Each structure stands twice: as C-alpha cells, then as structure tokens.
C-alpha cells in the first residue's frame, strides 16, 4: 500500500485520538512536509482532518465512499477483498472483473464502483446503479470445484448477503429462488454469477452483487419503483456501505469455504431458513416455457422442484419466479 494509504489507515485506526505528525514522519521515514502534503491529498478525497497543536492530527469525519481504505479496516477475511480495484464510475464492474479473471487476478479480488453506467442483470437485462447509493461489486473466486456445481454459488451468495444485511441493519430479508433478495416483497439485491471454465475445471466464478443501500425511491427508474426497494427506504436510516460490503465479503468467504469443504447440505439448510419461495404457488418462466404450480423445495443440487397442477413434478435450473401467493 502507498504512503498515503498508510497515513490514512493510522488515522482511521486511532479512532478519534490524535496521531502525531512527527511520529508519522519517523515511522514512514519521510519529512513533515511530505506528511502534510499527503494529509492535504487525503482531505481532497473528502476526509475531514483537524490539526491539534502539539498533539497531532485527528480524523473528524470520513466520506461516504467504498474505497479500499474504507473497506479493508472493516474486513475480517483471509482472502476475499484483500485486493480491491476501485472506480468512481465504470460501465459495469462485472466486465472489468471478467477481464481481470482472465488475466489471472487472484482468488478474492474485488472490483467495486460508486456508480455503474451500464450495470448488468441476468439475460442482458439492465441493473440500476445510482452513484454513491449502493454496493456495486464483483468478486472473483477460484474454488476447486467442477463446473456443474458453480451455479450453487448463486445460492451461497444469496445466503451470505442475506446474513450480512440482517447483521448490519436488523432487517429480515428473504430469498426468492434463486437469486433475488427481497424485503417486504421488494427487490433489494440482485446477484449475477458468471463462470469461466473448461469442461471439467472451474477457472473462476465472478459473483456480481448489487445491493440497493441508501437510495430514495425516486432514484430508481420509474419502471421498477413498484418492485424495487433500498435498505434505507425499509429502515429509515443511512447505512455505512463500506461496513456492509466488508460484512458481505466476510460471509461470502465463510459460506464459500463451508460449501467447498462440506458440500451443499449446510448451505441448503441456511438457504431454506431465509427463503420465501418454498410452499408458495409460483409461476416460473424459463427460456423455453412457463410453468405454474407449487414450489416444493430445492434439491441437493440447488434445483427448484415444482409440483404442477397435473401432479407432475418438474425441476428447474434457471427461471424467473413470480410468487402467486400461498398454496
Ligand atoms: P436480474 O435479471 O435478476 O434483475 C434485473 C431486473 O431487475 C431488471 O430487468 C429490472 O426489472 C430490475 N432492476 C433493475 N435494477 C434494479 C435495482 N437496482 N433494484 C431492484 N430491481 C432492479 C440481477 O439480475 C443481477 C444484478 C447484478 C448487479 C451487479 S452490480 C455489480 C455487478 N456489475 C454488473 O454490471 N452487474 C452486477
């Protein structure tokens, strides 16, 4: 990390206590003037620093941004998020991450942006990614699994994000199979999992995560204002995005490891405990057909089983689910 980042992390770690300029200069082996220049540059990023005579510098406030400097001090992971590629704006973090994965970026690399101008959903749909209001990030993971199991990582991710949201906000999100996270029936998170693999080995899975955090309803395009929501809309409070991002990475690592070591069973139990699909009457639209019936459950492979009105049981691997209400 750069000298500027080292200074900033000392200020953050001091938790409101003054940090001596002389001590910084000695430790980093640079002049007081250089320290001062770095502090100016940190202030230009939106941090407010107060100089207290004879004592040192105190960090008064931090900007609401999701830079590595903000996320990493909150991180409690071994590998996920240890390398963070940050953008104030980009087309889509997913595209950048896919390129990086191809170039060999290590397991756990994160691409995150304040804003996406061309955020992607599944099947080429678009994803609203308002500047500075959400978490728009793509995580590159390289689990030792075969490609047929990669889709289950969507469910692993859904469980991880649900858990993180619950812990940071006290809200109770529900998972709609396979990858929508809802609060009060409205979509707060979308997950897009992409695979780079050969026939028998996964090179990388790129998990694209979009969480609506601090938007007001008017930030969403009109067409989704009835179906989308943000954490702030639901609990009335601004949420620290970097803290939430760090928590998501923590649970993604925890449950990703659990999945690789112990298989899908423990994930299935967690997923079921958070889900709002099983037992409901649903309409499932796949690429080929539309099925209507009762969602029976998910199999040990993460496949959703639906009991049609004819009594026939069908498994779907990928579909858009519309909840039609209780059975
Ligand atoms: P999805 O296909 O399940 O959802 C896309 C649909 O959801 C859209 O067609 C629209 O109806 C609705 N929608 C669009 N934006 C939002 C929003 N902000 N909140 C709620 N509903 C919305 C879900 O696809 C996968 C989304 C992944 C987004 C992440 S962000 C980081 C990464 N980069 C990138 O380009 N995509 C991923």
Q: What is the CATH number of domain 68-274?
A: 3.30.930.10
Phi, psi angles (nearest 5°) of residue 42: -65, -40
Which parts are annotated binding residues for biotin? 116, 120-122, 187
Tens digits of per-residue pLDDT, 253-299?
999 999 999 999 999 999 999 999 999 999 999 989 999 999 999 99
How much is the pLDDT for 326? 56
Q: DSSP labels for 131-162?
A: TTTEEEEEEEE--S--GGGTTHHHHHHHHHHH
Whether residue 113 contacts residue 88, with contact meaning beta carbons closer than 8 Å, is answered with yes
Nearest CA to ligand 1 atom 11: 224
Whether residue 277 contacts residue 295, with contact meaning beta carbons closer than 8 Å, is answered with yes
Domain-by-domain residue ranges, the chain?
A: 3-61, 68-274, 280-326
Q: Say whether domain 3-61 belongs to CATH 1.10.3720.10.
A: no
- In this predicted structure, the answer to whether residue 246 has a pLDDT above a threshold of 80 is yes
Best residue among 101, 113, 127, 139 to mutate for probing ligand 1, ranked by most atoms within 8 Å of CB = 127
**Given 3.40.50.12160, 1.25.40.10, 3.50.50.60, 2.30.30.100, which CATH number is that of 280-326?**
2.30.30.100
Tens digits of per-residue pLDDT, 178-227?
889 999 999 999 999 999 999 899 999 999 999 999 999 999 999 999 99
Q: How many Å lie between the centroid of ligand 1 and the Cα of residue 273?
A: 24
Nearest CA to ligand 1 atom 19: 228
Nearest CA to ligand 1 atom 18: 128
Tens digits of per-residue pLDDT, 57-100?
999 988 889 999 889 989 999 999 999 999 999 999 999 999 99
Indicate the average pLDDT of the chain: 94
Whether residue 304 contacts residue 315, with contact meaning beta carbons closer than 8 Å, is answered with yes
Find out whether the beta carbon of 120 lies less than 6 Å from any atom of ligand 1.
yes
What is the arithmetic mean of pLDDT over 30-58? 94
Q: What pTM, to 2 d.p., does this model score?
A: 0.90
Phi, psi angles (nearest 5°) of residue 281: -80, 130
């Amino acid at each position: 990390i750069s000298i500027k980042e080292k200074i900033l992390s000392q200020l953050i770690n001091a938790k409101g206590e003054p940090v001596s300029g002389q001590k910084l200069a000695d430790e980093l082996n640079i002049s007081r003037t250089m320290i001062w220049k770095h502090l100016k540059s940190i202030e230009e990023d939106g941090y407010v620093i107060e100089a207290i005579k004879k004592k040192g510098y105190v960090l008064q406030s931090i900007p609401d941004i999701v830079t590595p400097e903000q996320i990493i001090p909150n991180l409690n992971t071994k590998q996920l998020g240890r390398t963070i590629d940050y953008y104030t704006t980009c087309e889509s973090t997913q595209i950048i991450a896919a390129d990086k994965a191809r170039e060999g970026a290590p397991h756990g690399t994160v691409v995150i942006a304040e804003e996406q101008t061309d955020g992607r959903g599944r099947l080429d749909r678009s994803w609203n990614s308002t500047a500075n209001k959400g978490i728009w990030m793509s995580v590159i993971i390289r689990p030792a699994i075969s490609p047929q199991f990669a889709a289950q990582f969507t469910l692993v991710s859904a469980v991880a994000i649900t858990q993180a949201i619950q812990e940071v906000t006290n809200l109770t999100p529900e998972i709609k199979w396979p990858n929508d996270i809802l609060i009060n029936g409205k979509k707060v998170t979308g997950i897009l999992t992409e695979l780079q693999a050969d026939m028998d080995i996964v090179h990388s899975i790129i998990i694209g995560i979009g969480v609506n955090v601090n938007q007001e309803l008017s930030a969403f395009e009109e067409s989704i204002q009835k179906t989308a929501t943000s954490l702030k809309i639901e609990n009335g409070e601004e949420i620290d995005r970097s803290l939430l991002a760090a928590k998501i990475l923590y649970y993604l690592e925890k449950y990703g490891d659990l999945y690789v070591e112990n298989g899908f069973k423990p994930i299935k139990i967690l997923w079921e405990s958070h889900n709002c699909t099983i037992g409901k009457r649903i309409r499932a639209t796949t690429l080929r057909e539309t099925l209507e019936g009762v969602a029976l459950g998910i199999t040990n492979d993460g496949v959703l089983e639906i009991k049609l009105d004819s009594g026939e049981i069908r498994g779907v691997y990928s579909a858009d689910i519309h909840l039609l209400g209780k059975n």
